[in-house]
Structure 1
Amino acid sequence: MKLFRFSWKPENTVRQLEKCTWQTEGSVAQQLFNASELERQENRQKFSDLLDGAYFLFKHELPHTTLYEPLLEVLTKIDHSKKLSTFFDKCKKNGSYDSTATVTELLEATSEVIDKQILTKIRESRIISIMADEGTDINHHQNLSICIRYCNQDTGEPTESFISLLKIKNKDAQTIFDTIVKELKSKNIDMTKVRFTGFDGASVFSGQFNGVSAKFRQMYSNSILFIHCRAHVLQLCLLSACEDIIEVQESLLTLKSLFYFINRSSIRLTRFNDIQMLLKHPQLKLIQPGDTRWLSYFRSVNAVIRCYEPLMITLEHIVHERGEESPSASGLLSILKDQSTTFILHSLEPILEALSILSKSIQTKNGDFNQLEKSMLGTLLRLEELKETLTLSSTNLNRDRITRATSRTNEISLEEIFNDKIVKFIDEVISNIKARFESNALKFLNCFRIFDVSEATNEQEYGIQEINTIRQQYPDDFNDDLVAEWKVFRKYLFVQKQQQKSAILTQRQQCINLVKNGMTRDMYPQLSLAVEIFLCAPISTATVERDFSTMNRILTDLRNRLTTEHLEQLMRVSIEGPSDLDDDLKDLIINCWKYFQGQWFVKVPMSQWCVHGFSMRTNNNAEAFHSRFNRRVQLTHPNMWSFIKFLQGDENRFHHLRIQFYAGLGARSKQAKTIAIQRHIDNLGQRYYDGVISAMEYLDGLSYTVAKRKK
């Protein structure tokens, strides 16, 4: 990696030496070092500006290899101080700061710094939860995204962080499990800290006996709980209720047909937009509803209702043209004119809106199950309320919005539809939520409601049963001290309740105070660990889904040759990187020692790059072979037969050389100048190891020996 290639010119060094105070005591070598250090700091300051430009491309998911050089040109033009242009002029011969290699190296360094900071916080935490999902990219490669939920020990807040994006060959449970474990172990993450796994409802993840979650329990601990993504569960509740009410299901299928009919033809889509403009209607787009797309049904119903009139006019125009698509348009127009369909769509809008609000609260990155329970209770009350309020609002619909032409004249009782279809649909949704949201994990997490000040009492047995349940679930983590700590902490909660201060802490705030580093955590170590388990429980896999959305924004049709490693690095910077780089982060990225330490001391053993004591210290022989081969080929892309012919020629050449060596041909003798330089170097090294000269004198001697003299 050639991250820093600052050029050295004699005139630059002289200029820096003139700035030095010659009255300062010290050797010439020290003064040269001071001048070099001053120049290095100036170069680093200018290079940090280039890093800001590169980071802008990484963070905003822009093609860095193609836009980096044009961005530097723009920065140079708008820099009226001319410092950047001077910097580029000075580094023009020996530096390549505008190359694709440089910006790629900056990406690798930036991703490594961010990754190290995240992993440091994860290793400090006592409890972690694993979330993962698999998805297909634009190149049809199967990818596995891994996230970890943990508590920041400084703030106590739960956090979900992106860890890795890995390419997998198979989608079976064993392959996914092995991939997750291998990746987390390679990052030195302690797998014994895992207490929860969060996945979607796919059997490969959630299978009770052979799923990924089951394999975690079998390998590490039976105490590990699997939590089904609550946003996915809510979508299943909605789909199950739709299947039970045929009329509601048909109305939602109509939305899909409308979307495909309008959006799959540029002509029809343009006509739809033009009609909206003529009616001075807001430019709205139809939303594609999908069974696996959270919130899509509400947005789709809302869009159709808001652009109902332009949509009807568009369909009428297509019907009157009597073209190939006229029958399809006529069928959709007939459905939309049906008063029952329109009534059902208007009635579904507030119902789906309430569910979408609940889904959004579930998808928050640092939410917990206490917040989920409160949101779910509010949604259920809202749905019960809609059974009464929808009757009045639905019968007073704006007729101009419902229908333009003559509506179907069949006698329909809206009240009958509401009671038989809408109320039944609401009841089905409520019953599904109550049934599907109840699970063993949720029952266990409800034990932590005892930390809510509003429910605290002075009874001796308050919370004892819940504490024992927590202890039984994780027998390896807790002992009798947990109950003793709770008895003391219970009195503290009750005193807070009696004071009735406006600043009483909520259950979440109480848990956070117990987790973060401080006196409270030191006083209640086991309670602190227990509430950290509660805060680390993932309520959804929305973070993993957002990771795939980021992947799809980066890996596009025009940018489809990114390697998995670089794609992961770009995702990490986009997801986890700060909005701007501070000076400390810049120093971590720019420092040469960071890359050298991380790459050449950790990943690559010293024996592979240190040539001390070896007679063959260069790869000049290999470079000579490549140069000779390129001169002979003289083509950038030779055909296969020419390539084979050149290989045969080189084989014959080496065959003749081997015969000559066997016949007694010796290696080419070294020049006298080379022998003399090597003797001087050996003598200097021997004198240094014998303690005759110091390290500075050794370096001075080497510089005089190997420096090229001007002719």
Structure 2
Amino acid sequence: MDKFVTRLKRGQPSTSSTIPPVASSIPSEVQRDTNPSNINFNYMKAVPANRRPTAEYDPNIRDEVRRYYIQKGPCQPMNHDFPKTQFGKKKKTMRQFHPGWFKGRHSKWLEYSISKDAAYCLCCYLFKNEHDVVEIWEMLLRKRRNEKDKNESRHRLGASIEVARFLLRLGLPFRGHDESTSSTNRGIFLELLQWYGAMDQEVGSIILQNAPKNEMMCCPKIQKDIVDACAKETIKAIIEDLDGDYFGILVDESKDISHKEQMALVLRYVDKKGEVIERFVGIVHVNDTSARSMKETIYSFLSDHSLSPSQIRGQGYDGASNMQGELNGLKSLILRDTPSAYSTHCFAHQLQLTLVALVKKNSDVDDFLCIVTNVLNIVGASYKRRDLLRQHQAAKLEELLISGEVHTGQGLNQERGLQRPGDTRWGSHYKTLQNFIDIFPSILYVLEFAACECPNYIDRLTAESLVDKIKGFDFVFMLYLMLEVLKKTNYLNCSLQKMDQDIVNAMGLLNTAKQELQMMRDRGWKSLLDDALSFCNKHEIFIPKMDANYIPGKSKRRALDVTYSHHFRVGIFYPVIDLLLQELNNRFDTVSTDLLLGMACLHPAKSFGNFDKKKVMRLAGYYPNEFDSNKLRDLSCQLDNFIGYVRGSDKRFFNMKGITDLAKVLVQSELHQTWPLVYLLIKLTLILPVATASVERAFSSMKYIKNELRNSMSDEFLNGCLVCYVEREIFATISNDAIIHHFQKMKSRRAQL
């Protein structure tokens, strides 16, 4: 111990006037710089008889030493066998220290030294020669209690935040029917918090029943405040990632389970890595769905998060009139304020609307889809028929496995269902028709069962009629025709749902779909007819002679002057494809030709084979706020340098799939700083939205969070839950300290954290 402690000479007084120089008098365990945390308290004595007087410590660290001993508490050996000592000269008595003195009013300061068999006062040791010792002692004790209470409150709130994190990321409910302590249905939040306390004894000792009744940090208001703080910090992280740059907005509206109109807002921007990002930032209840009211709501939301509408460089909506109206639609109102905020009609919605228009204009397609819908209604009308459909599928699959027609393997032979097609559900018709072909025998079996066993006469008659219709060659031909037509656009439909899809790639995929439809019209007739004939032979469906006169329906008196081959080819095959091509051309003309041509010139395919400087410069002219006359001149020079470099020997610019990849490579190679204006133009191109898939996903999440059992959620609570659930990747990066800090600033609270 001598190397750690500088001993005083025997008989030397221990007053402050005789203290040696600081560097030599302060033991090594407490020598430190200006940071008190450098004191090594492990070597400080707990036994009062062995302690150094506080006056021997440097004045700069004396309060730290006092605080250490106060937090450690007095030395009180409870289980010691205290010896008896003889007292008195005349009348000698045997006395001993009683451990009961450690309790009661002496508990805070009374100490005992086993080696000296003597009692000490911790208060006198710490504040010897100080005035108002008791007052100082009480003040430090209060400070100690305050710090302890503050730490406990912080840990208590931290436990509630951890539980809220778990529930928010999974979209689970918080509240229960009865949250009293005796209830068995307290809700997931309280039950999970109790389990958390049981798993961690340190947490369990300060939460729920072990916490002050006015500071449990788990009441419904606290839960909502925690969720709100989590959501606000998540949005704050998104806004910081945007960093005041240009962005596009994706807006849509939908009703929730309680029939309240909700408007969802998604920001689309290019981050610092050159990646296209779409982030859901909130859902707002709107009483008035007019374009002007929605515009004010959007501007108010942007203002709340320090975003300026002047930074908007793209708008994406569905086909609703209040969004797309040319005169007073939402896009037009924003365009008046920000002329460079160009709007695009959601490509995926346009694909679906093209199909709807096709149905309305072609009676054969309309009749076919009507039959499919009626079949789905009959088959899915009862659970008994659904079970019958599954059982027949399983039996049929077993037969095919035994015969060797199908093989087993991971992901093969999955159970097929019949999804009801909808006018607004992307790709629903394609999946339905594909499954219809795969489980046709099972569908036919259930319809025949319903035609015989259904208790309702009208349902029996309907089922019998549907059996006759789907066993007709006309239905089979339309089934394969529509499946093949929808297959040509299904890849485009799936691609549009990707967040990083750019408009040039989308237009390229659209042109590819048009080319495939044209090829199908020119050379696909024979293969389509062969597929339909093969299906009929497999399922024993009557096939008319293709060179015979066509007879509509079952009447033999209504034979037409055209053959079956001519009717199906010229009367149905060609018109359906022509109508589809016409609708695709009509509906995808909302974006300016100059804009698209200029964007296409920046596409890196075939070593920037489509590059045209004039068209790119014309594209830059559509953004006058970003490219004035001086910057246009600089852009012209940068374009020459840029295209010469990327067409050179740098392999990083080879085999890129789109403008998105080009932006990433420019940032990774730090060449975006070499050609900042070129990169800015690429970024503006990427901001222009393609589809509202992110908004649709947000509405799907809304229906999951606010369901029939949680239909009374407040709008603020719904928004908080939805932001954390949809953007759980960002939410996972938010620290508890940030949430606690925001929680504390929300309002004046009893506990100061």
Q: TM-score, normalised by structure 2?
A: 0.69
**Using a 3 Å threshold, how does the CA distance of structure 1 residues 404 and 467 change in structure 2: closer, same or farther?**
closer
**2:647 is aligned with 1:528:** no
Match of 2:174 among 61, 64, 73: 64
Partner of 1:130: 249
Tell me the secondary structure at the aligned position of residue 261 of structure 1: helix
> What's the CA shift for 1:535?
1.0
Counterpart-to-counterpart distance in 2, 1:189 and 1:247: 51
After superposition, residues 511-522 of structure 1 pair within 5 angstroms as 511-513=662-664, 519-522=670-673
Match of 1:53 among 163, 170, 179: 163
Q: CA offsets, 1:587-644, max 9 Å, x none?
A: 222x3x33333x24xxxxxxxx69xxxxxxx9xxxxxxxxxxxxxxxxxxxxxxxxxx
> What's the CA shift for 1:360?
1.3
Partner of 2:639: 489
Q: CA offsets, 1:462-489, max 9 Å, x none?
A: 7442243234322222123233333333
Residues 127 and 193, structure 1, Cα contact 8 Å, conserved in 2: yes
Counterpart-to-counterpart distance in 2, 1:278 and 1:517: 56
After superposition, residues 103-182 of structure 1 pair within 5 angstroms as 103-122=223-242, 124-152=243-271, 154-182=272-300
Partner of 2:501: 367
Residues 514 and 524, structure 1, Cα contact 8 Å, conserved in 2: no
Q: CA offsets, 1:290-338, max 9 Å, x none?
A: 1121111101111211111111011111112364211111121121011
Counterpart-to-counterpart distance in 2, 1:466 and 1:527: 14
Counterpart-to-counterpart distance in 1, 2:196 and 2:472: 60
Partner of 2:624: 475
**Using a 3 Å threshold, how does the CA distance of structure 1 residues 20 and 44 change in structure 2: closer, same or farther?**
farther
Counterpart-to-counterpart distance in 1, 2:538 and 2:371: 16
> What's the CA shift for 1:40?
6.7
Tell me the secondary structure at the aligned position of residue 523 of structure 1: coil
Residues 156 and 216, structure 2, Cα contact 8 Å, conserved in 1: no
- Aligned letter for 1:562? M
Q: Which runs of 5+ in 1 are unaligned?
A: 1-16, 601-608, 611-617, 619-711
**Using a 3 Å threshold, how does the CA distance of structure 1 residues 509 and 472 change in structure 2: closer, same or farther?**
closer
> What's the CA shift for 1:434?
3.0
After superposition, residues 414-453 of structure 1 pair within 5 angstroms as 416-441=567-592, 443-453=594-604
Counterpart-to-counterpart distance in 2, 1:42 and 1:398: 77
Farther-moved stretch of structure 1 (276-285 vs 162-171): 276-285
- Aligned letter for 2:310? T
> What's the CA shift for 1:568?
0.6
Q: Which has the higher helix share?
A: 1
Counterpart-to-counterpart distance in 1, 2:254 and 2:530: 45
Residues 473 and 541, structure 2, Cα contact 8 Å, conserved in 1: no
Match of 2:315 among 174, 197, 203: 197
**Using a 3 Å threshold, how does the CA distance of structure 1 residues 58 and 145 change in structure 2: closer, same or farther?**
same
Counterpart-to-counterpart distance in 1, 2:499 and 2:366: 32
> What's the CA shift for 1:76?
4.8
Counterpart-to-counterpart distance in 1, 2:581 and 2:295: 35
Q: TM-score, normalised by structure 1?
A: 0.73
Partner of 2:81: none
Farther-moved stretch of structure 1 (409-418 vs 560-569): 409-418
Match of 1:353 among 467, 470, 487: 487
- Aligned letter for 1:67? I
Q: CA offsets, 1:528-571, max 9 Å, x none?
A: 32222111000111211111111111111111111011101111
- Aligned letter for 1:118? I
- Aligned letter for 1:63? P
Counterpart-to-counterpart distance in 2, 1:62 and 1:524: 48
Partner of 1:228: 345
- Aligned letter for 1:348? M
**2:441 is aligned with 1:305:** no
Q: Which runs of 5+ in 2 are unaligned?
A: 1-39, 46-51, 72-142, 176-186, 399-413, 551-563
Partner of 1:395: 530
Partner of 2:446: 314
Residues 453 and 494, structure 1, Cα contact 8 Å, conserved in 2: no
Partner of 2:130: none
Match of 1:242 among 338, 359, 376: 359
Residues 514 and 528, structure 1, Cα contact 8 Å, conserved in 2: no
- Aligned letter for 2:62? G
**Using a 3 Å threshold, how does the CA distance of structure 1 residues 436 and 97 change in structure 2: closer, same or farther?**
same
**Using a 3 Å threshold, how does the CA distance of structure 1 residues 82 and 539 change in structure 2: closer, same or farther?**
same
Q: CA offsets, 1:182-238, max 9 Å, x none?
A: 2222222111111222111221111111111111122x1333322111111111222
Residues 126 and 193, structure 1, Cα contact 8 Å, conserved in 2: yes
Tell me the secondary structure at the aligned position of residue 189 of structure 1: coil
- Aligned letter for 1:588? A
Tell me the secondary structure at the aligned position of residue 161 of structure 1: strand
Q: CA offsets, 1:443-463, max 9 Å, x none?
A: 40330333344567899xx74
Match of 1:26 among 62, 84, 89: 62
- Aligned letter for 1:145? A
Match of 1:296 among 413, 420, 428: 428
**Using a 3 Å threshold, how does the CA distance of structure 1 residues 394 and 483 change in structure 2: closer, same or farther?**
farther
**Using a 3 Å threshold, how does the CA distance of structure 1 residues 189 and 61 change in structure 2: closer, same or farther?**
same
- Aligned letter for 1:57? L
**Using a 3 Å threshold, how does the CA distance of structure 1 residues 403 and 328 change in structure 2: closer, same or farther?**
farther
Question: What is the aligned residue count?
Answer: 576
Residues 351 and 493, structure 2, Cα contact 8 Å, conserved in 1: yes
Residues 458 and 491, structure 1, Cα contact 8 Å, conserved in 2: no
- Aligned letter for 1:62? L
Partner of 2:78: none
After superposition, residues 540-559 of structure 1 pair within 5 angstroms as 540-559=691-710
Tell me the secondary structure at the aligned position of residue 209 of structure 1: coil
**Using a 3 Å threshold, how does the CA distance of structure 1 residues 492 and 119 change in structure 2: closer, same or farther?**
closer
